[in-house]
Amino acid sequence: MTLPRRRFLHLAAGAVALPAVSRIAWAQAYPSRPVRLIVPFAPAGATDITARLMGQWLSERLGQPFVIENRPGAASNIGTEAVVRALPDGYTLLLATATNAINATLYDNLNFNFIRDIAPVAGIIRVPYVMVVNRSFPATTAPEFIAYAKANPGKVNMASAGNGTGTHVAGELFKTMTGINMLHVPYRGDPLVDLLGGHVDVYFSPMPASIENIKAGKLHGLAVTTATRTEALPDIPTVGEFVPGYESSGWYGVGVPKNTPADIVNKLDKEINAAFADLKIKSRLADLGGTVIPGSPADFGKLIVDETEKWGKVIRATNIKPE
C-alpha cells in the first residue's frame, strides 16, 4: 500500500517525536523505585551527615527512598568508581567532595576521569577548615604564627589526616603563600588527640571535628580557611585577612554518571536547591559550619573544574604523593 505523501510525513514526524516524548515521560515519572546515594567514605562524619540529611529531604520530596550506601576506601576512589560504572539512569548518585578534585591530580592511575565521567548535579555546602594550635604554642593569632614560623624554619610541625588529604593541601597552600617552612606530619586518621596533647603544633582541621574544642578553650583557633568568616565561629578571622587570596575548604555536592538524562539532572538540582529554603535543613547544615552553595548543574561543574585546577597546581608544585 502506498501512503499519500502528507500522511507519510505526518507519521514520520510522529515517530521522530516519540523518543523525546518517552524521555520527558520517564523524567516526569522519576524516581519510580529506590535511589542509591553513594558516600565514598565511612559512616559518621560531616560527609555522611550531609548525605543522610539530603537523602531524607529527597525521599520526602520525590516519594521514593534515597538509600545512603557507604563505599569507603582508596581515598574515596572506590565509591566514586562505582558511580562512574553505574547505569546513567538517575538511580545511582554520588556524594561528590573536594577529595575528588584533589585526587584527579594526586593519583595518576585512576580508572576514570572525574570531570569527564561524572556529571555535576548540584552543590550542597562548603565547610571551612580551621587553623588550630595547641594551648602551649607560642602564638595565638595567625600573624604571630607566621612570624614565629619564619623565625624558626622547619621547627614547627604541621599535622594532617594523611598525604594528599584536604587537611594536608590546605596547609601546603598556606606554606606556599606565606613562604614559611613547616615539617609535615601525616597521620592515618584524626591527629586531634596528639594536637590536644601538645605532640604536634598546628592542624588545618575540618571545622566539625574541632569546633567544640575551640569553644571549650582546649585549642586556639587562629583562622578559618574560607573566603569569608563563618557564622559558627564569627570571632575567628579568615586566613585571607592576613594572606590575601588564600582560600581552602571542603565542599560537598551531588553527581551522577555521565549521560544521565538532563531532565533527571535538572529535577534533582531543583529539589536540592529547594532544601536551602527550608529552615530545618539550613539549621542542620549550619551546625556543620557549612555555607550552602546553591546554583545550577553548570555552576557546580565550574566549581569542580576550578578546584581541580587549583589543587592540581599545589600538588605538582609541592610534589605530594599518595600514601
Convert the chain into a string of H (helix), E (strand) and C (coil): CCCCHHHHHHHHHHHHHHHHHHHHHHHHHCCCCCEEEEECCCCCHHHHHHHHHHHHHHHHHHCCCEEEEECCCHHHHHHHHHHHCCCCCCCEEEEEEHHHHHHHHHCCCCCCCHHHHEEEEEEEEEEEEEEEEECCCCCCCHHHHHHHHHHCCCCCEEEECCCCCHHHHHHHHHHHHHCCCCEEEECCCCCHHHHHCCCCCEEEEEHHHHHHHHHCCCEEEEEECCCCCCCCCCCCCEHHHCCCCCCCEEEEEEEEECCCCHHHHHHHHHHHHHHCCCHHHHHHHHHCCCEECCCCHHHHHHHHHHHHHHHHHHHHHHCCCCC
| Topology given in CATH for the domain delimited by 128-241 | D-Maltodextrin-Binding Protein; domain 2 (3.40.190)
pLDDT average, residue stretch 70-90: 97
- Residue 46 is predicted with a pLDDT of 86
Mean pLDDT lowest for which of 40-44, 179-183, 299-303? Answer: 40-44
pLDDT in tens, 121-138: 999 999 999 999 999 999
Check residue 5 and give its pLDDT. Answer: 47
* pLDDT band at 286; cut points 50, 70, 90: confident
Is the per-residue pLDDT at 320 higher than 80? yes
Predicted local distance difference test score (pLDDT) of residue 11 = 45
- The pLDDT tens digits for 95-121 are 999 999 999 999 999 999 999 999 999
Residue 278 identity (one-letter amino acid): D
Fold match flag (34-126+249-318 vs 128-241): yes
Parse the chain into domains and list their residue ranges. Answer: 34-126+249-318, 128-241
Kindly state the average pLDDT of the residues 23-34. 77
Categorize the per-residue pLDDT at 25 as very low, low, confident or very high, splitting at 50, 70 and 90: low
34-126+249-318 has which fold?
D-Maltodextrin-Binding Protein; domain 2 (3.40.190)
Q: Is the pLDDT of residue 4 over 90?
A: no
Confidence of residue 44 (pLDDT cuts 50, 70, 90): confident
Give the model confidence (pLDDT) of 161-191 as tens digits. 999 999 999 999 999 999 999 999 999 888 9
User: In this predicted model, what pLDDT tens digit does every residue of 203-243 receive, in sequence order?
Assistant: 999 998 899 999 999 999 999 999 999 988 999 999 999 99
Would you say residue 21 has pLDDT above 90?
no
pLDDT higher than 50, residue 50:
yes
Tell me: pLDDT of 3 over 60: no
Question: What confidence score (pLDDT) does residue 1 get?
Answer: 43
Check residue 54 and give its pLDDT.
97
Average pLDDT over residues 192-209: 95
pLDDT for residue 208: 86
Residue 90 pLDDT > 70, yes or no?
Answer: yes
